[in-house]
Amino acid sequence: MNVGDKVRLLHGREAGVIVAIKGDMVEVEIEDGFTIPVQKREVVLVSPEESKRFQSQEKNSKILAPEVQSAVGIYFAFLPLNDQKFALYCLNNTDWSLPFAIHKEQQEKAFTICKGVLEPQSSQKVEEVSIAHLESWGTYWVQMIYASAKPASLPTILQKKQRFRANQFKTMQDVPILGKKGYLFQLDKETISQETTQKISESIQTQSIYACHEKLSPTNSIVDLHIENLLQDYHSLSASDILSYQLEVFEKCLDSAIANGLSEITFIHGVGNGTLRQEIHKKISKHPQVAFYKDAQKEKFGYGATFIKLK
């Protein structure tokens, strides 16, 4: 099994696409857009005949159809050289050629550390780093363009900023392509579309966007994720783009709360169809810095908020 393969569950009606592989577990993005963890033995590859029917059912899902290219599977992988030093690789586990540039931001200045073309199912060594100097790594900025000689639905340009923390280096996984154990970070998961990024960028320039990381404190640890509280002009955004942006704000606020030593934080997500609540609970259920979480003050928020106790 590889990232991008279409599979269905043995003991259920769900079917979807593999977006990540972690040991004997796979993460499958099903038709309604949710990602679920499943053991490998609980899924089977979709046969060519079934795949045709499966693709016809995907027209209204997040994955564009018809799809002739596997476009999910871009990673950073840190492979240990010894107990202190790592080799950083960029992996292309897709069917696309990826002209790319990787930059580093340090002290408000950026410089290019690696560039070229990542061919399908290939890797590129970026640099060697020391875990002891993690705080001085800076922020990685990845830019990639999808290229193919075959007719295909073209994905948007990938632009991703990634900063690493020590608590992210705990569990090694099987690294695709390289066939070794290492720390794996997916770069093309839950990204906001380029068009949406532009709209949000314009909103930030013309409006007062909610800067949660500047407002959080031990006496003010409640974050309202309703979109009208985050952006003034959001009516042109699709439901999926709004959800992506709300989750981005959630992650930034949670990271800020942890970095500032807060012991707890509450997120108001509303009831709605429950999608935002489910996505938040999915993320915090396996977060290493979360002690526990529960519905917050039902008499005040109903089931529309989540209280998180931090370690």
In a domain, 52, yes or no: yes
Q: Which of 19-28, 56-65, 283-292 is most confident? A: 283-292
Statement to judge: residues 44 and 150 lie in one domain: no
pLDDT digits (tens, 9 = 90+) for 177-202: 998 999 999 898 754 455 555 555 55
Statement to judge: residues 180 and 204 lie in one domain: no
86, 122, 165 from 143: Cα distances, Å = 22, 17, 21
Statement to judge: residues 297 and 203 lie in one domain: yes
Share of the chain above pLDDT 70, in %: 76
The distance between the two most distant Cα atoms of the chain, rounded to a whole number of Å, is 59
Statement to judge: residues 124 and 203 lie in one domain: no
What's the number of domains the chain is made of? 3
What integer pLDDT is reported at residue 190 of this predicted model?
Answer: 54
d(CA 31, CA 1): 19
**Dihedral of alpha carbons 225, 228, 229, 233, sign:** positive
Of 159, 186, 213, the last residue of a domain is 186
pLDDT digits (tens, 9 = 90+) for 110-140: 899 999 999 999 999 999 999 889 888 989 9
Q: What is the pTM of this model?
A: 0.44
Q: Domain of residue 279: give its range.
A: 194-310
Q: Say whether pLDDT at 93 is over 80.
A: yes
Statement to judge: residues 179 and 205 lie in one domain: no
Statement to judge: residues 198 and 306 lie in one domain: yes
Statement to judge: residues 23 and 114 lie in one domain: no
CATH code for the domain in which residue 101 is found: 2.60.40.1600
Of 135, 169, 186, the last residue of a domain is 186
In a domain, 158, yes or no: yes
What integer pLDDT is reported at residue 208 of this predicted model?
Answer: 38
What integer pLDDT is reported at residue 215 of this predicted model?
Answer: 62
Statement to judge: residues 166 and 85 lie in one domain: yes
Statement to judge: residues 103 and 161 lie in one domain: yes
What integer pLDDT is reported at residue 25 of this predicted model?
Answer: 83
Statement to judge: residues 170 and 198 lie in one domain: no
Of 152, 169, 186, the last residue of a domain is 186
CATH code for the domain in which residue 231 is found: 3.30.1370.110
Statement to judge: residues 119 and 169 lie in one domain: yes
In a domain, 226, yes or no: yes
Mean pLDDT calculated for residue range 73-77: 93
pLDDT digits (tens, 9 = 90+) for 212-235: 555 666 667 888 888 888 877 676
In a domain, 64, yes or no: no
Torsion of CA 282, 287, 289, 294, to 10 degrees: 20
In a domain, 1, yes or no: no
